[in-house]
Chain A
Amino acid sequence: MNRESNTYTIVYASVMVIIVAVALAFTHQVLKDRQIKNENIDKMQQILRSLRLDVPANAAEAKYNAVIKNAYLINPDGAVVEGSEGVSVNDPAFEADIAKDDSKGLPVFEAEIEGKTKIVIPMAGKGLWGAIWGYLAVDADGSSVYGADFSHAGETPGLGAEIVSSRFCNQFEGKHLFRDEQFTSVAVVKPGRSVSDRDYVDGISGGTITSKGVDNMLLESVGKYKVFFRELYSAQ
Chain B
Amino acid sequence: MDSINIIVRSIFVDNMVFAYFLGMCSFLAVSKDVKTALGLGIAVTFVLVLTLPLNYLIENYILKNGALVWLGEEYKDVDLSVFSLLIFIAVIASVTQLVEMIIERFSPALYLSLGIFLPLIAVNCAILGGSLFMQQREFPNVSTATAYAFGSGIGWLLAIVGMAAIREKLAYSDVPKPLKGLGITFIITALMAIGFMSFSGINI
Chain A interface residues (CB < 8 Å from chain B): 20-21, 24-25, 27-28, 128-131, 153-154, 156-157, 159, 205-209
Bound CA span A110–B19, Å: 41
Please tell me which one of the listed residues A21, A24, A206 contacts residue B200 in the complex, with CB atoms under 8 A apart.
A206
Q: How many residues on B have C-beta within 8 angstroms of the other chain's C-beta atoms? A: 15
Q: Mind listing 15 A-B residue pairs with CB under 8 Å?
A: A24-B82, A24-B86, A128-B13, A129-B137, A130-B136, A153-B137, A154-B137, A156-B13, A156-B14, A157-B19, A205-B201, A206-B200, A207-B200, A208-B203, A209-B203
- The B interface, classified by DSSP as helix, strand, loop or mixed, is helix
CA distance A153 to B133 in the complex (A): 10
Chain A residues whose C-beta falls within 8 Å of the C-beta of B9 in the assembled complex: 128
Contacts of B19 in A (CB 8 A): 156-157
Give the distance to chain B from A184, nearest Cβ to Cβ, in Å.
24
By a CB distance below 8 angstroms, the chain A residues around B13 are 128, 156
Q: Are A20 and B82 in contact (CB under 8 A)?
A: no
Contact of A154 among B82, B83, B133, B200 (CB under 8 A): B133
A-B CB proximity, top 10 nearest: A130-B137, A28-B82, A154-B136, A129-B137, A206-B200, A208-B203, A154-B137, A159-B200, A130-B138, A24-B82
Question: Which residue of chain A has the shortest Cβ distance to B20 in the bound complex?
Answer: A157
User: Contacts of B14 on A, CB cut-off 8 Å?
Assistant: 129, 156
Q: Evaluate contact between A153 and B136: CB separation under 8 angstroms.
A: yes
Name the B residues within 8 Å of A208 (CB-CB).
201, 203
Complex Cα gap A95–B87 (Å): 30
Q: What residue in chain A is nearest B202 (Cβ atoms)?
A: A208
Q: A206 is contacted by which of B133, B136, B138, B201 (Cβ under 8 Å)?
A: B201
- Assembly CA distance A208 to B82 (angstroms): 34
Contact residues in B for A20 (Cβ distance below 8 Å): 86
Write the chain B residue with the least CB distance to A28.
B82
